Copies of this chain bind each other. A is one copy, B any other.
Amino acid sequence: MPNAAHARLKARFARIAALNEAAGMLHWDASAMMPPGGAASRGEQLAALAGLAHELLTAPVVAEDLAIARADGIWAETNLRLMARAHARATALPTELVEAAARANSACEKTWREAKARADFALVRPALAEVVRLQRETAQALGAALEMDPYDALMDGYQPGIAAADVEPVFAAYEAFLRDALPRAEAIQAARPEPVPLPGPFPVEVQRALCRRLSARIGLDYEHARLDESLHPFCGGTPEDVRITTFYDEQDVAKALLGVLHETGHALYERGLPKEWARQPVGEAAGMGAHESQSLIVEMQACRSDAFLGFLGRELREAFGGPAEPYEAGNLARLWRRVGRGFIRVDADEITYPAHVILRFRLERALIGGALDVADLPAAWNEGMRDMLGITPPDDAKGCLQDIHWHDGAFGYFPSYTLGAMAAAQLMKAARAAVPGLAEALAEGEMAPLLGWLRAHVHGKGSLLGFQDLLREATGKPLDPADFTEHLTARYLQA
């Protein structure tokens, strides 16, 4: 009964997806809403959900049904193939390991919040060591089952089809570009007039209203979305109920505003996934690199373009008032496209951002491979920052404690940021060529032409195509880092 087998599989995967949606909501709640005393019981809840999803995915009947199920059409065929991949990944891992990792991640994330606030790495070290130990075990089990290098097996969980061997040459080439481009960009910037700061402070209530209005303006439907606050901004929830968060700073409106535009890019991708394949593997986003390409095409490619900055300046002046000069597009460009050697990844400019990612990629590979101990992480981090950007973090809060990722068990995820930045540049170049009047629309704060193109070529494709095939169909070629350096050269290296 090939058709019955396929129907059974679809029902099972829809149930797994509903459990994962519930877990996603509880993760959002833990970051945006939960009182601190709730952390331990939240860990139990997430462990139970992860354990049950895992059992559903690894049941022997899945393998039996996969062996006999048949499908008509490329969507259904791809769905079956992705089910088989998910089953293979999950059966590689014993339930006890999945639940132990979920518990360790939850405990470590909680401790990390305090350790970061106190800039005290020693506080989180034992919890992080336990997270790393369980991620190593996970990587080895996955690698053995899938016949992959352990670290590649983790990466494959975030951006399917991309391995360290694909990333290494791209990152090495970028490092070479950076050593030449960064001093040049700094010199060009130094020769320009200093930007005028916007006239703050910026009341949180006004920022919140502006962020909501602009994210709606560029396409987010608040009948299906929320905007809240959390320490580390993110996009969570589900395609029908997407939750973006930000962090307001009364002294700096750019942090929340550009952050919200970034998360809106993620949210628009989720909202645009093919509804007829909701809660099926082929209906999901095509990986974290693809996801980051959508946040960055909105934030970096579209919203920080000269055209859109003109619109943003008018909106900002209406919200906060004061003289016209600071709000002019040229001034905003000098303020918000400022190049510099900073400690914090999420505050980094487009040129130095990949350096932060390259460092983390190398460190996490060494942690998972066993070449680096958690105890030696702060020193290795600082050494890497000195080598790559010539700066030394004054404390670990500005060093290896700055990101939530490792403390939440996410290893193999960081490369996605730079894969996404490169893909965003490549997609934007293709969209500009394909959509007439795109820049003119952006100048009016009008995202619809770009969004329409992205809906057709990225969002609506779900996971039908792999990362490279998605780019190939949309732009005529696989990932080509030259489009990214071309973009950086045009934006930062023209005197």
Residue in contact with A48 in the complex, picked from B19, B42, B239, CB distance below 8 Å:
B19
Q: Which of A41, A49, A226, A279 has the most CB of B within 10 A?
A: A41
Q: Given that A18-B44, A47-B18 are known contacts, is A29 also in contact with B25, CB under 8 Å in the complex?
A: yes
Q: Is the CB of B224 within 8 A of A48?
A: no
Q: Are B26 and A224 in contact (CB under 8 A)?
A: no
Q: A18-B45, A25-B29, A42-B241 are in contact. Are A222 and B35 (CB under 8 A)?
A: yes
Cα A33 to Cα B25 with chains together (Å):
11
Q: How far is the CA of A15 from the CA of B15 in the complex (A)?
A: 17
Residue from B226, B240, B278 in contact with A33 in the complex, judged by beta carbons closer than 8 Å: B226
Q: How many whole Å from A472's CB to the nearest CB in chain B? A: 32
Of B22, B37, B42, B222, the residue contacting A26 (CB under 8 A) is B22
In the complex formed, the residue of B with least CB distance to A55 is B52
* Minimum CB–CB distance for A490 against chain B, Å: 39
Task: Give the dominant DSSP class at A's interface.
Answer: helix
Q: Residue A51 at the B interface, CB < 8 A?
A: yes
B35 to A224, Cβ gap below 8 A? yes
For A38, A44, A52, A223, which residue has the most chain B Cβ atoms within 10 angstroms? Answer: A38
User: Is there a chain B Cβ closer than 8 Å to A140's Cβ?
Assistant: no
Is B41 a contact of A22 with CB atoms below 8 Å? no
Contacts of A350 in B (CB 8 A): none
Question: A41–B240 contact, CB under 8 A?
Answer: yes
Assembled-state Cα–Cα distance A278/B44 (Å): 11
Determine if A33 and B33 form an interchain contact, defined as CB atoms under 8 angstroms apart.
Answer: yes
| A225 beta carbon closer than 8 Å to chain B | yes
Complex contact B238–A38 (CB within 8 A): yes
Cα of A19 to Cα of B38 in the assembled complex, Å:
15
Whether, in the assembled complex, A21 has its beta carbon less than 8 Å from a beta carbon of chain B, the answer is yes
Q: Which residues of B contact A223 (CB under 8 A)?
A: 35-37
Q: Is A34 an interface residue (CB 8 A)?
A: yes
Q: Among the listed B38, B49, B221, B226, which residue makes an inter-chain contact with A241, where contact means beta carbons less than 8 Å apart? A: B38
Q: How many chain copies does the complex carry?
A: 2
Q: Given the complex, which residues of B lie within 8 Å of A26, measured CB to CB? A: 22, 25-26
Which residue of B49, B238, B241 is within 8 Å of A19 (Cβ)? Answer: B49
If the complex has contacts A44-B279, A48-B15, are A224 and B38 also in contact, measured as CB distance less than 8 A? yes
Q: Is A40 an interface residue, CB under 8 A from the partner?
A: yes
| A201-227 near B? 1/0 per residue, CB < 8 Å | 000000000000000000001111110
Q: Give, as a whole number of angstroms, the nearest-CB distance from A333 to chain B.
A: 34
Set B14, B35, B38, B221: member contacting A37, Cβ < 8 A? B221
Are the CB atoms of A41 and B225 closer together than 8 Å?
no
- Please give the distance in Å from A474's CB to the nearest CB on chain B: 28
Within 8 A of B (CB), among A74-102: none
A225 to B33, CA, bound (A): 10
Interface pair B240/A48, CB less than 8 Å apart = no
Which of B29, B47, B240, B279 contacts A38, CB < 8 Å? B240
A37–B238 Cα distance when bound, in Å, is 11
Could you tell me the distance between the alpha carbons of A289 and B265 in the complex, rounded to whole angstroms? 49
For A225, the chain B residues whose CB sits under 8 A away are 35, 37
- Closest B residue to A239 by beta carbon equals B41
Knowing A34-B241, A35-B223, A35-B225, say if A41 contacts B21 (CB, 8 Å). Answer: yes
Q: Which of B19, B36, B45, B224 contacts A21 (CB 8 A)?
A: B45
List B contacts of A44 (CB < 8 A).
Answer: 14, 18, 21, 279
In angstroms, how far is the closest chain B Cβ from the Cβ of A280? Answer: 13
A277 smallest CB distance to B (angstroms): 14
Contacts of A40 in B (CB 8 A): 240
A21 to chain B: closest residue by CB: B45
A239 to B40, CA, bound (A): 11
Contact in complex: A48, B22 (CB < 8 Å): yes
Q: For A238, give its contact among B41, B222, B240 (CB under 8 Å).
A: B41
Closest chain-B Cβ to A214's Cβ sits at a distance in Å of: 18
Rounded to whole angstroms, the CA-CA distance of A37 and B18 in the bound complex is 16
A-B contact pairs, 16 of them (CB 8 A): A15-B51, A18-B47, A19-B49, A21-B41, A21-B44, A22-B26, A22-B48, A25-B26, A33-B33, A33-B226, A34-B241, A35-B222, A35-B223, A35-B225, A36-B223, A41-B240
* Interface positions of A (Cβ within 8 A of B): 14-15, 18-19, 21-23, 25-26, 29, 33-38, 40-42, 44-45, 47-49, 51-52, 221-226, 237-241, 278-279
Q: Which 7 A-B pairs have the closest CB atoms?
A: A38-B241, A18-B48, A37-B224, A41-B240, A37-B223, A22-B45, A18-B45
